[in-house]
Amino acid sequence: MVIKCVVSYDGTNYKGWQIQPGLKTVQQEIENALALIHGGGRIEIVASGRTDAQVHALGQVFHFETTKTMEMDKWKYKLNRLLPKDIRIREVSLEKDDFHARFSCVSKRYDYYISLDDENPFVRNYMCVEKRRLDTEAMKKAGRVFIGTHDFTSFTSSKIHEEKSRVRTISECRVDVFDDRIRIVFRGDGFLRYQVRMMAQTMIEAGLHHLDADDVKRMLEACDKHACRYKADACGLYLVEVNY
């Protein structure tokens, strides 16, 4: 049977989601817990997508296959007892056999947080800190360039295989302004590696008047991996929800 889990985690102390030999990762911690529940042997989990080192999640989704029968609440209870306190299983559900955490996904939401309080030492693992004044209207104008279906070659890692499509649809790019922080909300049908962090920093640069919306448009239309040299700090990024 196929079991779907929604998990939240503080990415500060992890080298990202994906298992890497000799490194502490979120996937490895969860698979270690599942192995204990199953009495040994690897139970592989499949996530909706990877997150980078120090990136956080409120609603990451993964699935795994098992023949072990147990109530869903008990799965949640046992996993949370075995997992570190900075990884918490929020929901567990039994899904149809054709459910796939990655390929069944229709949209995702990422939030990027910018702290405006340079004197607060407690936000540095959870927000990008920017003490310079940001023009949020300029950020909004820059963000509107990303909305729609585009080739995002200019806003992704050069390591992506040449045959992989870089076309994605962004349905929302919103800037929310609070007294001591700014939140940028990105929603789309999928995101390439580093895409959200590169878009976020580009919007920050627009807020600093280092570029404007026309510059962003030219960068996007260039479809050139060298066109954008910006990438925001990982600690400000959160995978908020995955929709199916």
Which residues belong to the active site?
52
Beta partners for residue 114, in sequence order: 128, 182
Which region holds residue 178: left if phi is over 0, alpha if psi is between -120 and 50, else beta?
A: beta
Beta partners for residue 185, in sequence order: 111, 174
SS3 229: coil
Comparing C-alpha atoms, which of 102, 5, 114, 96 is closest to residue 59?
Answer: 5
* Residue 164: C-alpha distances to residues 18, 83, 107, 168, 220 (Å): 20, 35, 18, 11, 18
Q: What is the CA radius of gyration of the chain?
A: 19
Q: Which amino acid type is present at position 200?
A: A
- CA–CA separation, 197 vs 193, rounded Å? 9
- CA–CA separation, 190 vs 185, rounded Å? 14
- The span from the first CA to the last CA of the chain, in angstroms, equals 18
Tokens encoding 114: 């910018």
